[in-house]
Structure formats: C-alpha cells, structure tokens
C-alpha cells in the first residue's frame, strides 16, 4: 500500500465522522509528519455557522498535540470536483511545511490533483526568523 493510499484511507475515515449538520459538506484531512506519524482531522461545524473548524486545522492541531512539528505530506478529501484547502488552511499548512511538500486533493473516488505548498500559497505570510 502506497503512502498516498494510507493517507487517503485515514482522510476518508475522518471524512466519514465529520460534524457538518449545517452545510452537509464533510471534509477529512490526513497528515504525514516528517517523523513518520499519520494524524487526521475532520471539519466540525457549530450553531454559530460558519464559525467551525476545518479538517486541515483539526489535523494540524492533533499533530501538534501529539508532539510533531513538521508536515511531510497532506491529503484532503471532500465530495466535490475540487476540494482544495481554504486560504486560512493554506497558511496553516505553510506554517509547518516546506514549499515542496505535496498536498493531494481527493474526492471520494480518489486523487484529483497534487500541488505543492508553494503552488497552493505562493506568497504566504511569513515572519522573519520563523521555522
């Protein structure tokens, strides 16, 4: 089984348990950390819609909570033609990933496209000396 397949399966499992009663649009994300762990997250909405949490943000929070600091690869899955990370999540991913890290965008059938962090967010905000 390829690493993409492992990440896809984990992202799909997160997608399946997402809490999206307002939009009815589930999203799952899985991250491979630089030290080899796989962590995932799902979108979580609340009654103050749209003040919810994106799947990518949930996965990043889980990654940090588990003591991991750097992203090696990402899969995002949604039931759409192209469910790419929102602008805020692109910036969140950039905080923990190098420009050449692959972000795989998938639908329920499989891979749609792969972009690098640099392609997703070519001019993201960055503080001097951070990383």
Per-residue pLDDT of the chain (131 residues; tens, 9 = 90+): 999 999 999 999 999 999 999 999 999 999 999 999 999 999 999 999 888 999 999 999 999 999 999 999 999 999 999 999 999 999 999 999 999 999 999 999 999 999 999 999 999 898 876 55
Fold of the domain built from segment(s) 3-120: Cytidine Deaminase; domain 2 (3.40.140)
Task: Give the residue among 92, 93, 90 at the shortest CA–CA distance from 73.
Answer: 93
Task: Give the residue among 20, 10, 16, 123 at the shortest CA–CA distance from 75.
Answer: 10
Token pair belonging to 33? 């950390």
List b or e across 81-106, with b for residues whose CB sees 16 or more CB atoms inside 10 angstroms.
Answer: eebbbeeebbebbbebbeeebbbbbb
Q: What is the pTM of this model?
A: 0.94
| The pLDDT value given to residue 97 | 97
- Which residues are designated catalytic? 56
């Amino acid at each position: 089984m390829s690493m993409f397949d492992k990440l896809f399966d984990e992202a799909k499992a997160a997608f399946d348990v997402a809490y999206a009663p307002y939009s009815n649009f589930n999203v799952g994300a899985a991250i491979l950390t630089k030290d080899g762990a796989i962590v995932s997250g799902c979108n979580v909405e609340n009654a103050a819609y749209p003040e919810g949490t994106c799947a990518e943000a949930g996965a990043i929070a889980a990654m940090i909570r588990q003591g991991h600091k750097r992203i090696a690869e990402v899969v995002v899955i949604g039931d759409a033609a192209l469910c790419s990370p929102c602008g805020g999540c692109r910036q969140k991913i950039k905080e923990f990933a190098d420009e050449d890290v692959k972000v795989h965008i998938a639908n329920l059938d499989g891979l749609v496209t792969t972009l690098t962090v640099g392609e997703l967010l070519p001019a993201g905000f960055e503080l001097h000396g951070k990383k």
